[in-house]
Structures are given as structure tokens and as C-alpha cells.
Amino acid sequence: MAFGLLSSTIPSPGPVINLYTGPANKLTVGKITIGSKNYNHARIQIGYKEGDDVKYFEYNRYITYGDVIETENLFIGAGQELVVRSTESDVNFLFYGETVNDIINPVRSGVLQHTVSTGATKQILFTAPVGSESKVTVSICNLGPDVATVKLGLSNGGLTQFDSTEYLDFGFKIGPGQTYTRPDIKLGEGQSLIGFSNPKSKVTFLCHGKLFYEVSGLPTSDDFVVLGNSRFDGNVGIGRSATTKFDVLGEAIITGNTKIKSINYNEDIDNVRNIRSIGISTFTGDVTIKGDKTDIQSYNLTTKSNDIVLGFTTTGTFTGSINAGSNVVTNVLPTDNIVPNIGVTLTSASGNLDLGSGVTVVSIASSSLVLSDTISGNGSDSNAVFTVGSSNDDIANDGGIVIKGTTDKSMLWQQSTNRFNFSHGITLNTGVLQILDGTSKISIGITDVLTSDKIFGRLLIDEIIVSNDTTNYIPTAIAVTKRARQVSAEGYFASNSL
């Protein structure tokens, strides 16, 4: 933002020269001070150059030695050229003021409209655009050889709505080569400035000013719009009185990097040191976190949910820019359901651009993604539409839980085997109660495969009948003895096909 002295010059007598050009995306508001150090009477001109034509803010105004003339505020839009001229040497022009952002309004501020009047026909000089409120200055110059009579009005609509009660100025006179300036006329949406002059005159009306819209803040609105950085020394309340430093009632959208932390400071006077404690950040509603990677640096993570869903995506569409022969899609929006290995199809594109079947996303970074195949055809499309599939086994492959240690400890599902792969062994707790109630077991469906004392229902401790008749093996007096038979689980499963 520029502020203060914007430009100054002492032009050579005769030609029109550039004093200032409005910078891109900025509105410049400033005044020109003209001073003469020449003993001859000089005529000066100040205008706005449109192509090869000059539209005047001041026309042939006289200035003598030692005199100083200062204009009202001039409004110069982005790219608009402010020019000056003097008939004598040693006349300096100094332009000072400030620039403000003017990038988001649908109609930009600055020089708004130029109109020439040669008679009593009423003309619309400027109409406030839809959705706007305007503050307009009218510079009225008499370019004719005779005194001109000018009338200026403000209509609540167009020419047909203008009546005799709506005159701002009625019948004022302007001498040849002189200027009359009417600053800061306020117009609501659809309201118009009306002007005309006497017959056989030549009067110009140059409207310049600032337009206000809801997106940038209307003068009559209770909304407080800030375009740029803001700093508040006290509490800020949105939707309610501020009870804390930042108190928001209702939904909030935060775009960009966000850091949320609670810090309390307490001074330990005895030890003359500061104690810094981290407080608790609480979200009481649903929270959606978007991004390619979410890094949770807490060393203790707890949840009251009884389930955790991984690899969740839903079917939807997105748009992006594509070129034939490339497998890169740029300007992707939205990216919510796009993850590596998910399937995509090209729903619509210009020309003969096409994408084969079975195409997946290889990688995604920010708003660009790489596909597993290239776009065929010719040309490009900046708004191609894609359909993204839902969750599938390609996405699920190698998904699961990884615990970092000296080596990774993991439980991952693998597509090739359709099984979970454990990097380390599994121990089932076998306390007394668990043995008694049979909860410590592995089952397939309703079949108990492995319990603490059985494999596929076969006891690991068998009853063996031993006879005390060692000659004839006739069980005349039978003693029943239980003897443990050791069974190797690894050997059992190795010798039995599943």
C-alpha cells in the first residue's frame, strides 16, 4: 500500500504528460497540488487518458506566480492514467494520497463514466451497479467559449423516475475553461446521477469515486469486513459477547494453517521462575480434518468410540484441468475422497479426450494428482469432470496398525493372501477364570479351533486305561490313570491340512 507522496513533476510547456498510473488491483485516492514559479499566467489541465483521448478533471484553469491550487480527491483505478499539462514552464504538479485494495469487487472503483452535454437533453451520468453503494465525485468542465448553465440531479432510478424534486444543483453557471466539482455524492443500488446543460454548450461530466459491495463491506451494513491482517488488543466475540479471548457462536471456516493450544502461565515467586503448562483444547461437535497427512504428536491418545474405521471413502465427483498425453490432473476440487489406489473414470471432457477403464490414482499432492494411465485424444480441458469410486481392496492393501519400535510391530491386511499379517506372535491371556468360562479361544465361525486345553475339540490331556493283569491283560481289577500327552500345536497344524 502506498501512502503519502505518490508522484510529482514539472512538465515542459505544451504536451500532455503522464503523472501517475494506478497500480494493479488498487484504487488510488489523492489530491493534486499545483504551484507556479512563473511570472506569466499559466493555464493548467488535469485529466484521465483513455486511449488517445483526455477526459478532464480540470480544464484550462489559470494560475499565476506564487499561487497554489489544490483539487478535490481524485479516484484513479487500476491501470488508469492520470495526466497533466501546463502552458508555461516552472509549474509543478504534486500528487499525494493513498492506495487501497480493489480486487474482489465485481465493478472496480476509480474513473467511472464520462459524459458530454451539448444541450438540454437529460442524460444519465452514472448509475450505481447492482449490489453496490457508491460515493461519487463529479468534475464538470466547460469546454465551450461561452458561460454554460448546468443542472445536476439524483434520481431514485433512471431518467423516467427523475422529477423536479430531485435536483442537487439547478442552473449554476460555469465560465469558459472553468471547472465545478461536486464531491462525495452518495448513491444507493440502481440510483442515478442526471445532468444536462444549456443549448449550444459543451460541458463534460467526469464521474469518479469508490464503489462498496457486501463482499468488501457496505457503508450501511452492520458487517465488519477486513481485507488484510487484523489485530485486537481485547476479547473478540462472534455471535455473542466475548467471554474469552475468542468466542464464536455458530459455524466457523478456517482456511490455511491453524494452531490450537491452551497455555497457562503461573509465576513461582519462591524459585523466581515461570511455569508453562499446556491446557486442554476441546471440540464439542463433529470434526473433519482434511489433508494428505495428519500428524498427531500426543504421546497418549484416548477415545470413547468403540470402533475405528480406516480407509473410508465415498463415491463422488471432482473437477480438474487435463491435457491429452498427460497422466497429471491439476486444480483438483474437491479432494475429499481421493486417496492413492482409488479408481477414477472421466465423466465428461471437451473434444475427444478420454481415459481408459481400470485407471487408479497413483499419488496426490495438494490439488494435483497422478493417474495410472494417460489421457488420450487431443487438446485440453480446464474443467473436466471425474467420478471417483468407493473403498476397495487396492486401498485396503497393507492397511492396519503399525507400532514403531526398534523394528516395526504391525498387524496389516494383505490383498494377495486376503489375510491379516502379524509381524510378531500373539499371546492369549489364560487366567483361571478365562479357562473356566472358555473365553480364551480362537474360533472360525461357530467352531472353536483353539482353546486353552483343546485343538479342534481334541483334548490335550487324554484318559488312558491301564490293567493290573500284566499276563492276560484281562481287566479284573482296573485302575484308571490319567497321564498327560504333550501335543505340539505347530506339529499338529503341520500334519493336518486345513
- At 25-71, the pLDDT tens digits run 999 999 999 999 999 999 999 999 999 999 999 999 999 999 999 99
- Which whole-number Å values give the CA distances from 17 to 246, 387, 392, in the listed order? 53, 58, 69
Domain assignments of the chain as residue spans, ordered by start? 3-213, 432-495
Distances (CA, A) of 2 to 7, 70, 106, 150, 301: 11, 20, 23, 37, 51
CB count within 10 Å of CB 191 equals: 20
C-alpha gyration radius of the chain: 42
Average pLDDT, whole number, for the chain? 85
Residue 213 CA to residue 43 CA, distance in Å, equals 39
* Number of residues written out for the chain: 498
**pLDDT tens for each residue of 355-405:** 988 899 999 887 899 999 999 999 999 999 999 988 888 888 889 999 999
Strand partners, 388: 316, 344
For the entire predicted model, the pTM comes to 0.57
Residues of the chain with pLDDT under 70: 259-281, 290-292, 428-440, 460-498
Residues 6+ apart with CB under 8 A from 447: 456
Query: Which pLDDT belongs to residue 392?
Result: 84
Secondary structure (3-state) at 492 = helix
Give 448's contacts (C-beta < 8 A, 6+ positions apart). 438, 441, 442, 454, 457
Residue 468 pLDDT: 54
